[in-house]
């Protein structure tokens, strides 16, 4: 669903991307600004219990993850540094979002949910690491139930609706996200194991 929506969102962001590029603003700058905004919003709003406001602000900055890609295509072939920076700062933003939730649950005395949010943080990082390590060895790893966009949508929607007073939505969303992330890790491990079993060791990078 998210892959189908990406072209439509790209069309909406393209005019803004053209304006920024014409003023000499590069995609790397947008990547950094988006990450800084996400981190600041997550660690400011979420620990205070301002879940809806925090989610709205974070969502605005998360769109920078699409905007920098649009701008990169306008300025020519994507750079290796830009791809590396984008992937690295994605991890920073994700960690800030779940860290803010962990702090909120700790302050609220919700230790179980704090543990679930922490598991989501770790599992999300592991999902990304497994893919990066597999690709570093020359294999593919584009499989899994919950990739980063899906994890962000489930997490932010459940947090935002909880901030509007919808009962049980946040625990349900976090448990769903934890389960989906764990399944994704297993799916990727199995996928890589199958490839590794059919590739001679000397051909792996």
Which 8-state DSSP code applies to residue 203? G
Cα–Cα distance list, 203 to 194, 197, 198, 199 (Å)? 15, 12, 11, 7
Q: Rounded to an integer, what distance in angstroms lies between the CA atom of residue 188 and that of residue 133?
A: 11
Task: Respond yes or no: is residue 90 known to be catalytic.
Answer: yes
Cα–Cα distance list, 29 to 6, 21, 32, 38, 191 (Å)? 21, 11, 5, 14, 35
Dig out the tokens for 190 from the structure: 């199995």
Helix or strand run (H / E) with residue 19? helix 2-22
> Which entry of 65, 68, 86, 90 is annotated as an active-site residue?
90
Q: Rounded to an integer, what distance in angstroms lies between the CA atom of residue 106 and that of residue 112?
A: 9
Q: Rounded to an integer, what distance in angstroms lies between the CA atom of residue 164 and that of residue 152?
A: 18
Residues 70 and 82: beta-carbon distance below 8 Å: no
Dig out the tokens for 147 from the structure: 């990739």
Catalytic residues: 90
């Amino acid at each position: 669903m998210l892959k189908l929506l990406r072209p439509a969102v790209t069309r909406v962001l393209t005019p803004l991307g053209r304006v920024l590029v014409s003023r000499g603003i590069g995609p790397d700058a947008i990547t950094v600004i988006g990450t800084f905004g996400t981190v600041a919003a997550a660690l400011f709003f979420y620990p205070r219990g301002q879940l809806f406001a925090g989610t709205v602000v974070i969502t605005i900055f998360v769109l920078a993850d699409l905007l920098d890609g649009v701008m990169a295509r306008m300025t020519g072939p994507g750079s290796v540094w830009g791809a590396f920076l984008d992937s690295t700062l994605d991890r920073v933003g994700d960690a800030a979002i779940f860290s803010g939730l962990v702090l909120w649950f700790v302050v609220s005395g919700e230790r179980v949910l704090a543990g679930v949010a922490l598991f989501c943080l770790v599992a999300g990082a592991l999902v990304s690491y497994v893919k990066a390590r597999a690709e570093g060895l020359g294999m593919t790893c584009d499989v899994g139930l919950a990739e980063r966009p899906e994890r962000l949508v489930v997490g932010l929607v459940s947090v935002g609706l909880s901030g509007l007073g919808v009962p049980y939505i946040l625990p349900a969303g976090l448990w769903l996200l934890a389960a989906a992330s764990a399944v994704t890790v297993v799916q990727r491990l199995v996928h890589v194991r199958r490839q590794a079993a059919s590739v001679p060791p000397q051909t792996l990078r």
